[in-house]
Amino acid sequence: MRISDKEMLSMTDLPFDKVSPYRVKVVEYTIPTTKEKRMEILKKYGYSGRLLPAEYVHINMVTDSGTAAMSDRQWSAMMLGDESYFEARSYENFEEAVNLFTDMPYILPCHQGRSGEYLVYQALVQQGDKVPSNTHFTTTGAWCYERGAEPVNLLCKDYLDSEDKGWFKGNMDIEAFEAYFIENAEKIPLVELVLPNNLNGGQPVSMANLKAVREIINKYDKRGTKLYLDVARISENAWMIKQHESGYEDKSCLEIVRECMSYADGCHMSSKKAALVNMGGFVALRDKRTWQKMQPKLIRTDGYITYGGLTGRDLEAVAVGLIEGVNDYYLADRQRQVDYFAEACKKRGVHIMEPASCFAVYIDAGKCLPHLSPMEGPATCLSAQAYLEGGFASTAMDSLQRAREDSSDPLNEGKKMTAPYELIRCAIPRRVYQEPHYDWAAECLARAMSHGTKLPAFRKIKEDRPPLEISEIGLRTFFDNFEPVSDLPLGDPVKMVSTRI
Ligand code: F0G
């Protein structure tokens, strides 16, 4: 019998903030490489973490999405997956876990976050509407444009102050939101809060901010505006609230998640993050009629309403992982790893965005490579060189790759703005790496940085592709390719360990 949820959540005095609360049963290998081989790979496949063949990436922090190591509890639950088309038993297990997590009565499973978002936008958003957010994730921004509406990002100003060490720099700018809401209330069907704010340094959102957003909607509402939460990593956001917002220190993260949900009308989750699965998602909401409106839309694209594009075993894995991933001592272990990696970077002089978030470390490549201007891609360059140094891959989010479009005029290249920081996101897969991996990843970044002005500028490779639609503009980061204006420095060879067959 596998350990039950109740047993998993039992009180403990074991120091799970110092030692991981699990042990390893299966390990995963990558193909060993040399610096020469890695240079060949970069030249052949392109210089971005997203393009590198994964078997040649020894430490992969390109994303924390779908990359978790599942537990014995999840794998054993998967064996019990009920693959019946309609009303499979696995759906009941899934529904029970999602109800417990969200405290919302109406649920639809989806194959991942973006398919759930599609239902929300189709059901609620129309041409000419506006959807304010602390910062839309790329896909909710895309759905918004697809409906002929405008995604509006109102991120708090603290984020723009690099000296600010506040804990909740992912917040909505409450003053700006209030003013915007008063002026546009008739055009706002939906407000989206992303907890934590992935596209801005992974910074968390406070409970106070969430409550303030709710109060403003209640006060000035003119058309039944809904508040939805993008909860891909809400368990980790809850951990930050527990650590850093007064009044929450004695609450469990599950209680904090449920309190967050209590201020919302609905939520959508990419379960590939905090629910510790490789595939899955859901929408949960309070209003039955909206739920019914979403049902045929789900059937049209993803299958029946009790599986939403997932297999029975996927549903089982989410049901277990969702609760495992909100367990306080699991989250203490996760935060320890993020903090360890952040310290490993700082110790080696690699500049990071502070405070480090709850799921990733964002490297301030602009500070690391001050000789490169934003449009010369300092993050693109440092990230590529770090792979060359030691097989460590990450995601560059600099102005070269992510200059921000004007949301009211997204096709106008002339209105694009540079990113506020030239960041590399090192997103930490869950339960995958150990301290020596983090030390080596930090070492790769430090070695890369030590080449200083020898590191070249990058430029976009011009490619003849059909033009993107407005709703696809933000997705160009998946198509654009970049190259250095001159070769990356090969530097000293790293000591070789030989194997002979
Ligand atoms: N919302 C947030 C905050 C996300 O970070 C993502 C995905 C999604 C929604 C969409 O979920 O991929 O399951 O469809 N983020 C991944 C990342 C891709 O690397 O940050 P999805």
Domains of the chain with bracketed CATH: 23-57+332-484 (3.90.1150.10), 72-324 (3.40.640.10)
**Alpha-carbon distance values, 230 to 242, 266, 273, 412 (Å):** 19, 9, 12, 28
Q: DSSP assignment, residue 417? A: B
478 Cα to the center of ligand 1, angstroms: 13
Report CA(113)–ligand 1 centroid distance (Å).
6
Predicted local confidence at residue 493, as pLDDT:
61
For atom 5 of ligand 1, the residue with the nearest CA is 198
* Dihedral sign from CA coordinates of 47, 377, 364, 494: positive
Q: Which pLDDT tens digits describe the chain residue by residue (501 residues)?
A: 889 989 988 889 999 989 999 999 999 999 999 999 999 999 999 999 999 999 999 999 999 999 999 999 999 999 999 999 999 999 999 999 999 999 999 999 999 999 999 999 999 999 999 999 999 999 999 999 999 999 999 999 999 998 898 999 999 999 999 999 999 999 999 999 999 999 999 999 999 999 999 999 999 999 999 999 999 999 999 999 999 999 999 999 999 999 999 999 999 999 999 999 999 999 999 999 999 999 999 999 999 999 999 999 999 999 999 999 999 999 999 999 999 999 999 999 999 999 998 999 999 999 999 999 999 999 999 999 999 999 999 999 999 998 877 778 887 877 888 889 999 999 999 999 999 999 999 999 999 999 999 999 999 999 888 988 999 988 888 888 999 999 999 987 666 666 666
Pocket of ligand 1 (CB under 6 A): 63, 65, 112-114, 137, 139, 194, 198, 230, 232, 270, 272, 281
**Predicted TM-score (pTM) of this structure:** 0.96
Q: What is the pLDDT of residue 478?
A: 87
Burial of 156 (0-12, 13-18, 19+ CB in 10 A): buried
- Cα separation, 398 vs 97, in Å, equals 38
How many helical (H) and strand (E) elements, i.e. helices and strands, does the chain have? 17, 14
Q: What are the tokens at 99?
A: 């109800």
Strands 150-153 and 130-133: parallel
Q: Are 48 and 480 in contact (CB under 8 A)?
A: no
Instruction: Output the CA 463–ligand 1 centroid distance in Å.
Output: 26
Q: Residue 25: which of 69, 80, 81 has the closest Cα?
A: 69
Omega within 30 of 0 (cis) for the link into 355 = yes
Among 173, 122, 123, 126, CA closest to 152: 173
Q: What spacing in Å lies between the alpha carbon of 15 and ligand 1's midpoint?
A: 32
- In what helix (H) or strand (E) does residue 427 lie, and over which residues does it extend? strand 423-427
Q: In this structure, which residue's CA is closest to atom 11 in ligand 1?
A: 113
Mutation choice for ligand 1 from 60, 134, 137, CB with most ligand atoms inside 8 A: 137
User: Distance between terminal CA atoms of the chain?
Assistant: 43
Q: Say which residue the tokens 């030590």 belong to.
A: 450
DSSP 320-342: HHHHHTT-HHHHHHHHHHHHHHH
Q: How far is CA 472 from CA 435, 466, 478, in A?
A: 39, 12, 10
User: Distance between CA 41 and CA 39 in Å, rounded?
Assistant: 5
Compute, in angstroms, the gap from residue 371 CA to the centroid of ligand 1.
32
Of residues 190, 189, 133, the one with CA closest to residue 156: 133
Q: How many residues does the chain have?
A: 501
Which residue's CA is minimally distant from atom 18 of ligand 1?
Answer: 65
Query: Are 71 and 276 within 8 A, CB to CB?
Result: yes
Can you give the pLDDT at residue 497? 66
